[in-house]
């Protein structure tokens, strides 16, 4: 099978096409022929040697999500749930930049008929991450207000779409006015910020009422600003650390407003934890995709062989939504 392999820690050029054997699958697993996968910021960090994969998975093949066709099922997998030929998608701990993957059946979902493989590949990592953070952990409710940093990212857009479907007011922050223009239809308000300062602008929306939940995808001193614009009993979910892992916190605000600050990550969780989150997402959010209320936003599609170009595009920080690798497309079109 074709695999995109990290040949050394470094820039996009270290991603090289190689031929490898199909992975083996256990009695509890499904072997999936991958039709499409998507690029995530974590992939670029792992490529640079800054975000290693879990010890028990393939180390030199990137990829956290997939969409494809069931090729075979393990002996303990209920054939009433999955069978050869089913269109499926889901999360993976690694190894989706290639033609086949073995995944735990408990973490697999059927692709709705309304979604193509390209669209389905853009869903699992961004939308399950967003749903888990703002709904399952922060317990976002209808008529509350959500603040999303890095609002033009895949997770940021996913959070906005989920929140709007729940009748939640959504405010987004970005650093580029061009991005603000491209995503403004997805948010109630989009703020272009400079120097990491946004609390005053957020508080000015709605008569200084503040927000109930923050999806913090940037980290660093953004968390300090978050504390200034969260209401009493507000919840801050830290998911990304693009601005760094350290900040100064006003503990007085934390105490007087009884704010909850929580960090979260999907990749490091056990298969049982991932399965639980996936099943909740399938029951509560996937129907929005079936109805068409939520539709994945895709910036560009590349053939598998052009994974390096896809990484270059992501690192240029100009994309809106997801960048997808189409394994059914070759570099000649």
In order along the chain (333 residues), what is the average pLDDT of each group of 10 residues?
98 98 96 98 95 91 98 92 96 96 97 97 97 97 96 96 97 94 96 90 82 93 92 94 77 88 87 93 97 96 98 94 92 54
268: Cα separation from own chain's centroid: 14
CATH superfamily of 126-263: NAD(P)-binding Rossmann-like Domain (3.40.50.720)
Number of residues in the chain:
333
The CA–CA distances, whole Å, from 7 to 13, 18, 60, 142, 316 equal 9, 10, 7, 47, 22
Paired tokens of 92: 């993976």
Q: What is the pLDDT of residue 166?
A: 96
Q: What is the pLDDT of residue 254?
A: 86
Euclidean distance between CA atoms 62 and 321, whole angstroms: 19
Euclidean distance between CA atoms 94 and 115, whole angstroms: 23
Q: What is the pLDDT of residue 249?
A: 83
Q: Are strands 260-263 and 230-238 parallel, antiparallel or unpaired?
A: parallel
Q: What is the pLDDT of residue 194?
A: 86
One DSSP character per residue, 301-326 reads: EEEGGGHHHHHHHHHTT---SEEEEE
What phi and psi values does residue 205 have, to the nearest 5 degrees?
A: -80, 125
What phi and psi values does residue 298 have, to the nearest 5 degrees?
A: -120, 130
Q: Write down the residue that tokens 């120097």 correspond to.
A: 195
In sequence order, the β-bridge partners of residue 262 are: 237
| Residues in CB range of 269: below 8 A, 6 or more apart | 277
Q: Look up the pTM and report it.
A: 0.94
Residues of the chain with CATH 3.90.180.10: 2-123+267-326
Residues of the chain with CATH 3.40.50.720: 126-263
The CA–CA distances, whole Å, from 160 to 6, 199, 293 equal 33, 19, 12
Cα pseudo-dihedral 16, 22, 23, 25, rounded to 10: 160
Query: Among 2, 264, 294, which residue's Cα sits nearest to residue 157?
Result: 294
Euclidean distance between CA atoms 140 and 237, whole angstroms: 11
What's the CATH fold of domain 2-123+267-326? Quinone Oxidoreductase; Chain A, domain 1 (3.90.180)
Contact call for residues 46 and 53 (beta carbons, < 8 A) = yes
Q: Write down the residue that tokens 């853009």 correspond to.
A: 122
Beta carbons within 10 angstroms of residue 162's beta carbon: 24
Euclidean distance between CA atoms 289 and 24, whole angstroms: 32
């Amino acid at each position: 099978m074709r695999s995109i392999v990290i040949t050394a820690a470094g820039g996009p050029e270290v991603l090289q096409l190689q031929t490898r054997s199909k992975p083996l699958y256990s009695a509890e697993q499904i072997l999936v022929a991958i039709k499409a996968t998507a690029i995530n910021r974590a992939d670029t960090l792992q490529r640079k040697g800054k975000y290693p994969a879990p010890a028990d998975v393939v180390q030199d093949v990137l990829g956290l999500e997939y969409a494809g066709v069931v090729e075979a099922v393990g002996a303990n997998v209920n054939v009433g749930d999955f069978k050869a030929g089913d269109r499926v998608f889901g999360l993976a701990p690694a190894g989706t930049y290639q033609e086949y993957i073995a995944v735990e059946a408990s973490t697999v979902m059927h692709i709705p008929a309304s979604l193509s493989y390209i669209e389905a590949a853009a869903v699992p990592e961004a939308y399950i991450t967003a749903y888990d953070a703002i709904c399952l952990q922060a317990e976002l409710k209808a008529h509350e207000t959500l603040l999303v940093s890095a609002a033009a990212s895949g997770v940021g857009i996913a959070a906005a779409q989920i929140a709007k479907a729940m009748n939640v007011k959504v405010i987004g922050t970005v650093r580029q006015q061009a991005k603000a223009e491209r995503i403004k239809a997805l948010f109630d308000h989009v703020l272009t910020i400079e120097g990491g300062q946004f609390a005053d602008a957020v508080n000015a929306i709605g008569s200084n009422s503040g927000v109930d939940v923050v999806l913090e995808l940037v980290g660093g001193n953004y968390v300090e600003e978050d504390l200034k614009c969260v209401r009493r009993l507000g919840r801050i979910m830290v998911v990304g650390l693009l601005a760094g892992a350290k900040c100064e916190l006003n503990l007085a605000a934390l105490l007087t407003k009884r704010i909850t600050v929580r960090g979260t990550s999907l990749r490091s969780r056990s298969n049982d934890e991932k399965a639980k989150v996936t099943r909740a997402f399938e029951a509560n959010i996937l129907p929005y995709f079936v109805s068409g209320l939520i539709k994945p936003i895709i910036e560009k599609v590349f053939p598998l062989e052009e994974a390096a170009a896809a990484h270059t595009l992501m690192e240029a920080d100009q994309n809106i939504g997801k960048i997808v690798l189409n394994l059914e497309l070759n570099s000649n079109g």
